[in-house]
Amino acid sequence: MLNTRTVLFALGSLALTLALVLHSRTATGQAAQPTTEIKVDNFTFSPETLTVPANSTVTWTNKDDVPHVIASTDGLFRSKGLDTDDHYSFKFTKPGTYNYFCSIHPKMTGKIVVQ
């Protein structure tokens, strides 16, 4: 027989289960895909050397009012010309050291260290 108490208990258990499922999903998503930002400002990558765990997505944002291109030294990745406030993202799956530069201003260099 259903009485008010049983119904309330069932609803409470359901809400708790939902909350736990939603929470664990969010936590797993954050752990699996860390995201890190690099600012391109005043012809400098900031930070110039960035250390991240494997499977990190790194996003460059151009804060200068001239275009820049993010190009890896070994040709692994290369952005289009980034105008002001444009973004470019690359996911680093394998550990290693990745040197890159701006193909328009080759004196601009940076490094991603993937652990």
């290693």: which residue's tokens? Answer: 96
Rounded to whole angstroms, the Cα distance separating 24 from 21 reads: 5
How many positions of this chain bind Cu ion (CB under 5 A)?
Answer: 4
Which residue in the set 102, 110, 112, 114 belongs to the binding site for Cu ion (CB under 5 A)?
102
39 binding Cu ion? (CB under 5 A): no
Which residue in the set 86, 105, 109, 111 belongs to the binding site for Cu ion (CB under 5 A)?
105
Ordered strands of the 44-46 beta sheet: 44-46, 35-41, 56-62, 87-92
Which x/- pattern over 49-78 shows residues binding Cu ion (rule: CB under 5 A)? -------------------x----------
* H or E element at residue 6: helix 4-32
Q: Which stretch binds Cu ion (CB under 5 A): 28-36, 48-56, 74-82, 99-107?
A: 99-107
76: its two tokens: 């692994």
Name beta bridge partners: 38: 60
Binding-site ranges for Cu ion (CB under 5 A) = 68, 102, 104-105
